Amino acid sequence: MPRTLPALISRPLQAVVPPPADPRTQVVRQELTAGLPARIDLDAARGFVLAVPLGVARAVLAADPSAVVFSTAEPGDSTVFRDDGAAWPRLTLVVTGAIGTTVPVVAGVPVRLAGSTGPAAVEVTVEELVLTAGTLRSPGRFGSRLSLRWRDLALGADDGPPHPLGDPGVPVLLSQLWEEM
């Protein structure tokens, strides 16, 4: 008769405690008063360029300057596909003047971007992006803003092994089970 693991199955799981916040993460908040494309400086060598490929600008020119064109705050229907013809902002990593990876802006999703050569250089998570028609047309205060978190991936953390997730008693129970066999 095969041995089962009743202790693992019948035990209630402990709540998963998220790992502590990474102290290397930096927050950038910027009002987009210079229009788009906009440069977001991270440090002396790296930055992002926020741009929106429009295709046809007639609708943007005719719109009210304070009309919101794109906002991460508006909840969307996850069953509906994204409109490929709509204005969709993109972040491009620039490292010492060289253009790196370009990704679409999706709120709350961490994305790793690489420079023109080599592995991923930074990880970015856009918290909020609000773009108005006036910002897409020209510089000015139209209420557009960007908030993001980023961290350097060049150096690893010096805080030991990753924090355990889940039930810390599982490895002990498995080792006891193996000893009994």
Q: What percent of the chain has pLDDT over 70?
A: 64
pLDDT at 94: 93
In this structure, is residue 11 part of a structural domain?
no
What lies within 8 Å, CB to CB, of 68 at 6+ separation is: 74, 130, 131, 132, 143
> Is pLDDT above 90 for 126?
yes
- CA 41 from chain centre, in angstroms, equals 16
Confidence bin at 8 (pLDDT 50/70/90): very low
pLDDT digits (tens, 9 = 90+) for 153-169: 876 556 666 666 666 55
Given a contact cutoff of 8 angstroms between Cβ atoms, the answer to whether 32 and 145 are in contact is: yes
In this structure, is residue 173 part of a structural domain?
no
Cis peptide preceding 37, ω within 30 of 0 = yes
pLDDT digits (tens, 9 = 90+) for 14-47: 555 555 567 778 999 999 999 999 999 998 889 9
pLDDT at 102: 92
Structure tokens at 45: 């060598």
Given a contact cutoff of 8 angstroms between Cβ atoms, the answer to whether 115 and 52 are in contact is: no
In this structure, is residue 57 part of a structural domain?
yes
Q: What percent of the chain has pLDDT over 90?
A: 32
Q: How far is it, in rounded angstroms, from Cα 30 to Cα 41?
A: 10
* pTM confidence score: 0.68
Total number of domains in the chain: 1
In this structure, is residue 18 part of a structural domain?
no
In this structure, is residue 55 part of a structural domain?
yes
In this structure, is residue 29 part of a structural domain?
yes
Reduce the DSSP state of residue 170 to 3 states and report it. helix
Q: How far is it, in rounded angstroms, from Cα 71 to Cα 140?
A: 18
AA letter at 61: L
Question: What residues make up the domain containing 140?
Answer: 23-75+87-154
Structure tokens at 149: 């978190």
Question: Parallel, antiparallel, or unpaired for β 98-104 and 145-152?
Answer: unpaired
pLDDT at 88: 82
Q: In the predicted model, what is the mean pLDDT of the chain?
A: 78
Measured in degrees and rounded to the nearest 5, phi and psi for residue 132 equal -110, 165
In this structure, is residue 132 part of a structural domain?
yes
